[in-house]
Amino acid sequence: MSASSQTSTVPGEHVASTASPATPAEKIGLLEKVGYGCGDLASNFIWQAMSIFIVYYYTDVIGVAAGIIGSIMLFSRVFDGFSDIAMGYVIDKTRSRHGKARPWLLWLAVPFALSAVMLFAVPDASPFWQVVYIAVTYNVVCLVYTGLNVPYGTMNSLITQDQYQRSLLNVYRMSLALIGVLLVSNLTLPVATLFGGGQFGWVVTFMIFGSVGTALFIFTFKTTRERVKPASQSQRDSTVSLKESLLTLCKNRYWALATSFILMTYIFNALNSGAVVYYAEYILDDTWMVGIVTTAYIAFILVGMACVAPITRRFGKRNAIIVGELITICGYFVMLIDLSNVTLLIAGTIIRGIGKAPINGSMFAILGDTIEYGEWKTGIRNEGMVYSGGSMGIKIGSGLGTALIGWVLAFGGYVGGGGEQSAAALLSIQTLFIYLPLALCVLLIVLMLFYDLDKRYPSIIEDLKARA
């Protein structure tokens, strides 16, 4: 063992930011980048369609009280968040000829689609049994989604160890995810209406979405490859206990910051996507504005995503995220000029979309970078456990955001099924779509001020290579 290896076995907290960068980026082919991105496209054909419409479907199609739905969502997502940790540990112990994370996309692609269809097939029964059915099927969907999403996120760190290539993979991932959001937000209501509307139309719609999602997951499996191995040969030949793996997360402050950032971002996303249908119907008096507003938002995120990789390479992911949140706040200020003015709403939405591009393009890349920090600090590389934190952030954040929709609507006296709403109910809708997301942008900026891993990462990689 070399002297450099010996001195880095038990690393300290201080690493000079001036160390030489990592070796030249390993080139990832276009097909693999697109294939990886299609995994999130697959998820969004089912998961995002649920996120946008599930509360609306339960309150306005099935007729379940908004407060009950909000409570179910929160309990399910928080419970499921802990299952993410378990799934992360399972990934780290998985040994197959296809790798440790990638095979799960093949194994669970069909069950995820089937469980999503079941979610909408609420039986014509008493309200009590409808609530029981919703609670059970929603938990099943969340658990199967965990079995797909945690491995999928983990694959980013297993495909390459280069920061820039990870950023590119994340740009493809989030760009295709946004295309999925764009498609489902514009197609769900028309397709459900095409098949007669009501419950039958929704079930058929998700049969179609589920079939597309399954095919895309299999495509991702076929076109990607795991390459990265632990720096320590001993860890390559053995597995780490759950206790040890959890302890490494506790020592990884950047993992805690990245996971918290993802959690709060997904609260924002859940509010933004779940409240838009209510805002369009009761503030703008036009449900078709759901597609227009979502299209404007997603289209300009996609425009901004084209510039994310070079910007983050030049200025760092943290700085790009902070500027993006500031731009998003400016978009909300434009909307606040007149809450019912469609032109200002679209203008503010476009600005918000541009601002959110660096956030969407960087948040899972910063999570991936915390893997190397954890390995450098503790000697243990646990991709599955690290990415389980990201999935946990998605689940709990989405659950809390969705629950807030139900709770705030109930607090404001919202009455499902259309018709005139009280001033308090209208204010609750405005709060969900504008005021709460605006406050979250401010909190996210504060959180990112504590994240400085970008400048330390090259030195950490060099130190890890010295140990190999």
Instruction: Provide the token pair at 285.
Output: 């008096």
Quote the CA–CA distance of 138 and 76 in Å, as a whole number.
7
* Whether CATH 1.10.3720.10 fits 241-467: no
Closest CA to 281 of 181, 426, 423, 405: 426
Closest CA to 242 of 380, 86, 352, 360: 86
User: Which residue would you say has higher pLDDT here, 398 or 17?
Assistant: 398
pLDDT at 395: 75
pLDDT tens digits, 323-333: 999 999 999 99
The dihedral of CA 376, 393, 120, 191: what is its sign? negative
- Residue 401: partners with Cβ closer than 8 Å, 6 or more residues away: 266, 267, 268, 269, 270, 271, 274
pLDDT at 72: 80
DSSP collapsed to 3 states, 349-381 = HHHHHHHHHHHHHHHHHHHHHHHHHHHHHHCCC
Confidence of residue 111 (pLDDT cuts 50, 70, 90): very high
pLDDT tens digits, 444-458: 999 999 999 988 888
pLDDT at 57: 85
Quote the CA–CA distance of 369 and 163 in Å, as a whole number.
7
Quote the CA–CA distance of 401 and 28 in Å, as a whole number.
35
Fold match between domain 29-228 and domain 241-467 = yes
What SS3 class is residue 123?
coil
Whether the per-residue pLDDT at 25 is higher than 70: the answer is no
Percent of the residues in the chain that have a pLDDT greater than 70, as a whole number: 91
Tell the CATH topology of 29-228: Growth Hormone; Chain: A; (1.20.1250)
* Lowest mean pLDDT across 229-238, 339-348, 350-359, 415-424: 229-238
pLDDT tens digits, 121-174: 898 888 889 999 998 998 888 889 889 988 998 898 889 878 788 888 888 998
Task: Count how many residues are written for the chain.
Answer: 468
Quote the CA–CA distance of 275 and 179 in Å, as a whole number.
20
Whether the per-residue pLDDT at 59 is higher than 50: the answer is yes
Give alpha helix (H) positions in 379-422.
383-411
Q: Where are the domains of the chain?
A: 29-228, 241-467
